[in-house]
Structure 1
Amino acid sequence: MSTYYLAIDIGASSGRHMLGSLENGKLKLEEIYRFPNGMKRVDGSLCWDVKALFYEIKEGLKRCKELGKIPSFLGIDTWAVDYVLLDQNDRILGKTYGYRDDRTNGMDAKVYEEISLKDLYARTGIQKQIFNTIYQLMAVKQKEPELFEKAKNMLLIPDYFNFLLTGEKRTEYTNATTTQLVSPVSKDWDYELIDMLGYPREIFGTISRPGALVGNFSKEIQDEVGFDCQVILPATHDTGSAVVAIPTTEDNALYISSGTWSLMGTERLEADCSEESRLRNLTNEGGYEYRFRYLKNIMGLWMIQSVRKELAEEYSYGYICEQAKKQKIPSIVDCNDDMFLAPESMTDAVRAYCEKTGQQAPQDEWETSAVIYNSLGKCYGDTIGQIEEMTGRQYDCIYVVGGGSNAEYLNQVTAKYTGRTVCAGPGEATAIGNLLVQMLYDKKFRDLKEARACVKKSFEIKKFG
């Protein structure tokens, strides 16, 4: 009888429960349950509905019970940087803000009153993004200081869900590094930095590495879903899990985790916190086995997702790719410009950028899509040059994993702008990486290299260029 492992993978627009098992040395996947997600306006703020998300987590668990496919282990991964503050009775304080909320505007200047951006990067190695937790917490200090007075714990989103399932409060390492408050040397909270910023140090719990056991379901959860299960920490940052599933046994592969965001980088054993690295806007996010994901955050398919929502009728991403491929418009936008973070209309934002920079403005949604795809390819090409200069290595192949690996036109554009072979797949990399860490905990693989070899053997990898 197969042992089942369950990856609960929650992204910014949807979540799913993916069952995994090993059969004849290959990984088998089955989607059990899927549910929508998204930030919603609450009194003018963009927020997550964590109560609704936890309801969906439990509904997916009940679905496993109904199917008679009960997992022995499960892991949860989500997006990074967002959190809840809990009071002494473990109730959420205030709103559960989403990272696209604008309350962090100007909070970088407040942080830099205590520590310069240069010194902050030297301490943490994390790329400045205005939505990083460090700036979100400064917004609490400046605008809602009463929350800090009542707060007893800060838990990142996946850690909060693990707490609701088990009653155990753990902070997982890979996601913690995205707060910009963790030392790449100690692999722990930089308490000196936390004190410097005036954040209450007691709310920051012990950091656990991916592959650690959180605990079993609480009695209340067992009674509700009908079974018990061991909860394991995968890389709870979804990109951290996706990188675990790169289909290669090379030690220095270059990857793009392609989804709402594009994360392009490589793995290193030590962080590069140099000033040159900071100026290139590269980051050192934590990875499995304390590897560092040396990468650049690029706006990614969020731009295409936003355009798709604006279309009069629902088109598939495949159809959008086909139409974009037919266009001849040469214009390029900077995908990382803040104007693309949360515009009212992505189509209008792309048009405005082109007009502002003296380029041909797209006339319809297909030209807009073509501009976005080509701009992503151009950004990838620029980034690979920077990474090669910083690492002293040359990369002949780019491993594209995640949902964007299914975008054939984007893969062709990526090969064109980078001049490298693109190896695309698997599309379900985040869930797969989540499952692999559970299987490593269960000693189904000797090490990460053997786990990645299983991915390479189990899934189709398409080549471009």
Structure 2
Amino acid sequence: MTKYSIAVDIGASSGRLILGWLENGSLKLDEIHRFENKIVKKGDHYCWEVEKLFQEIKNGLKKCFEMGIKPDSIGIDTWAVDFVLLDENDQPITEAVSYRDPRTDGMMEEVFQLISKERLYLETGIQFQKFNTIYQLYSIKKNHPEILEKAKTFLMIPDYLNYLLTGKKANEYTNATSTQLVNAFTKKWDHQLLDVLGINKDMFQEIKAPKTVLGTLRDELVSELGFDMEVILPATHDTGSAVIAVPEQDGTIYISSGTWSLIGTENYFPICVTKALDYNFTNEGGIDYQYRFLKNIMGLWMIQEVKRNYNDEYSFARFVELAEAAKDFKSIVNVNDDRFLKPDNMVQEIMNYCVETGQPIPSTPGEVAKCVYDSLAVSYQDAVKEIEEIFEKQFEKINVIGGGCQNEMLNQLIADVTNKEVNAGPVEATAIGNIAAQLMALGEIQEINQARGIIKESFEVKKYLPAQPVKN
């Protein structure tokens, strides 16, 4: 009997419920429901509307029921680092504040006064970004200590949505590692670190691995939806799910391309050496306790903001066409500069950067887009060189996955600047990886290598070769 799994995949701008099942050895997908997600201003902070997100999950499940499909399982993945705190009555006492909120400005430097940057990296292996959970919590401790005194439960965004589904509390491993509060070697919450920071370690839940069956739906949800199902932990960090769907790992660097670009490779142990620290690489948790050794790069957030600044006059496909027409324009910005994290106007910020660095200033939508795509390609090129330096070997291929892999211009740019074969696909990598983890938990797929073999045969992957190969 066919087993149906639902992947709830929520990103920074939208969410989807995608139905997945095996049919004659091939993995099939069907998008059931799509909805908007955005940051809103609540009081002094920029926040996610998690209650609305939960309602949209229920709306999608009701659509399933109307289609005559009763899923066997559901798994939720979202972005990382953000969280909700609950009080002794399991009521939220914080909004789900976004990582783009400025409350963490200066917090990283203050934490370094308590624990050195080197020790923090040696213990957690996590990339330094000013919005990491550790700095969000430290900001609360400094500015609103009464909140942490009341807090009895710490749940990251997918953990909280799972709690609303099941009434069960757990912190899932792949997302927990992004907090910079999990020991890279023990894979548990680093209690020594929490003590140094003065953060209550008792509010953190047991860390559970992907493929864990968390439970079934609350009774009231079963009555509302008309069916019950198992809630299974995928890799709840969306990049963790996406990496599951990289068809070939050996000799391959992956780029998970979306609002953020995550570039790296899968590894069996954390790399917490000085060079990895200097290059700001991270060792996030992956499926089967593997490590995602990668770097976070700003990604297509920049072109999303450019599109918004031009009042959505141009589609993403049109921006690619305009950029190709502006082929002679060449200016490069540092996409990882904090000024691009949440500027008032992305187009103006890009122009300002070019002025300050003495480069040609983009004056048309096509030139702005060309600048963004060229800059992303250069940042990927730099990251590839750093990975090869750390691993002391050459990687043969780059596999671009996720929605950004549909940008053929950027794929070709990556092939050209890195002088490597680029494989683009699968597009729905995050949902595919989410469903694969559920099907492994259900016994439909035996292990990760079998899952990747099925994925490779089920979805299209396009190949791009360097236009003018150069000798190394």
The amino acid that maps onto 1:95 is: E
Q: Does 1:336 align with 2:336?
A: yes
Matches within 5 A, 1:114-263: 114-248=114-248, 250-263=249-262
The amino acid that maps onto 1:54 is: F
**RMSD after superposition:** 0.9
Partner of 1:89: helix, strand, or coil?
Answer: coil
Partner of 2:97: helix, strand, or coil?
Answer: coil
Map Cα deviations across residues 409-444 of structure 1 (whole Å, 9 max, x no partner). 110111111111110011100000000000111122
Contact 1:154–1:205 (CA under 8 A) maintained in structure 2: yes
Distance 2:52 2:153 in 1: 21
Contact 2:264–2:293 (CA under 8 A) maintained in structure 1: yes
Partner of 1:297: helix, strand, or coil?
Answer: strand
Give 2:434's aligned residue.
434
Map Cα deviations across residues 190-219 of structure 1 (whole Å, 9 max, x no partner). 000011100001111100011101100010
Give 2:302's aligned residue.
303
The amino acid that maps onto 1:65 is: F
Contact 1:252–1:267 (CA under 8 A) maintained in structure 2: no
The amino acid that maps onto 2:453 is: A
Question: Post-superposition shift, 1:289?
Answer: 0.6
Partner of 1:16: helix, strand, or coil?
Answer: strand
**How high is the TM-score relative to the length of structure 1?**
0.98
Partner of 1:35: helix, strand, or coil?
Answer: strand
Partner of 1:456: helix, strand, or coil?
Answer: helix
**How high is the TM-score relative to the length of structure 2?**
0.97
Partner of 2:195: helix, strand, or coil?
Answer: helix
The amino acid that maps onto 2:84 is: V
Give 2:470's aligned residue.
none
Matches within 5 A, 1:340-419: 340-419=340-419
Give 1:74's aligned residue.
74
Contact 1:100–1:131 (CA under 8 A) maintained in structure 2: yes
Distance 2:101 2:282 in 1: 22
The amino acid that maps onto 1:270 is: F
Contact 1:252–1:268 (CA under 8 A) maintained in structure 2: no
The amino acid that maps onto 1:302 is: W
Give 2:283's aligned residue.
284
Distance 2:251 2:41 in 1: 42
Identity of aligned residues (%): 50
Distance 2:240 2:95 in 1: 26
Map Cα deviations across residues 76-118 of structure 1 (whole Å, 9 max, x no partner). 0000000000001111113220000000001112211210111
More divergent stretch after superposition (40-49 vs 429-438): 40-49
Map Cα deviations across residues 314-364 of structure 1 (whole Å, 9 max, x no partner). 422112111111212110000100000000111011101111111111002
Matches within 5 A, 1:56-95: 56-95=56-95
Give 1:269's aligned residue.
268
Partner of 1:266: helix, strand, or coil?
Answer: strand
Question: Post-superposition shift, 1:313?
Answer: 4.1
Contact 1:76–1:236 (CA under 8 A) maintained in structure 2: yes
Distance 2:94 2:284 in 1: 28
Distance 2:367 2:253 in 1: 30
Contact 2:251–2:397 (CA under 8 A) maintained in structure 1: no
Distance 1:58 1:208 in 2: 24
Give 2:446's aligned residue.
446
The amino acid that maps onto 2:378 is: K
Partner of 2:430: helix, strand, or coil?
Answer: helix
Contact 1:172–1:210 (CA under 8 A) maintained in structure 2: yes
Question: Post-superposition shift, 1:252?
Answer: 4.5
Map Cα deviations across residues 7-40 of structure 1 (whole Å, 9 max, x no partner). 0000010000000011111111000000000111
5+ residue gaps, structure 2, are 466-472
The amino acid that maps onto 1:410 is: L
5+ residue gaps, structure 1, are none
Contact 2:251–2:396 (CA under 8 A) maintained in structure 1: no
Contact 2:322–2:365 (CA under 8 A) maintained in structure 1: no
Distance 2:270 2:418 in 1: 25
Q: Does 1:45 align with 2:45?
A: yes
Distance 2:448 2:51 in 1: 34
Give 2:469's aligned residue.
none
Map Cα deviations across residues 267-313 of structure 1 (whole Å, 9 max, x no partner). 11110111111001111111001111001100000001111112244
Contact 2:174–2:240 (CA under 8 A) maintained in structure 1: yes
Q: Runs of 4 or more off by more than 3 Å in structure 1? A: none
Distance 2:357 2:14 in 1: 35
More divergent stretch after superposition (307-316 vs 195-204): 307-316
Map Cα deviations across residues 122-171 of structure 1 (whole Å, 9 max, x no partner). 11100100000000000100111110111000000000000000010010
Q: Does 1:324 align with 2:316?
A: no
Map Cα deviations across residues 225-271 of structure 1 (whole Å, 9 max, x no partner). 111010000000000000000022x4442100000000000011110
Give 1:22's aligned residue.
22
Q: Does 1:12 align with 2:12?
A: yes
Across the two proteins, how many residue pairs are aligned to each other? 464
Shift in CA distance, 313/191, structure 1 to aligned 2, threshold 3 Å: closer
Partner of 2:394: helix, strand, or coil?
Answer: coil
Distance 1:109 1:280 in 2: 18
Distance 1:316 1:213 in 2: 40
The amino acid that maps onto 1:169 is: K
Distance 1:311 1:226 in 2: 45
Distance 2:226 2:282 in 1: 43
Shift in CA distance, 456/226, structure 1 to aligned 2, threshold 3 Å: same
Distance 1:216 1:314 in 2: 45
Distance 1:428 1:122 in 2: 34
Contact 2:86–2:94 (CA under 8 A) maintained in structure 1: no
Give 1:33's aligned residue.
33
Map Cα deviations across residues 44-76 of structure 1 (whole Å, 9 max, x no partner). 311011111111111111111111111101100
Contact 1:284–1:293 (CA under 8 A) maintained in structure 2: yes
Contact 2:111–2:135 (CA under 8 A) maintained in structure 1: yes
Distance 2:355 2:119 in 1: 37
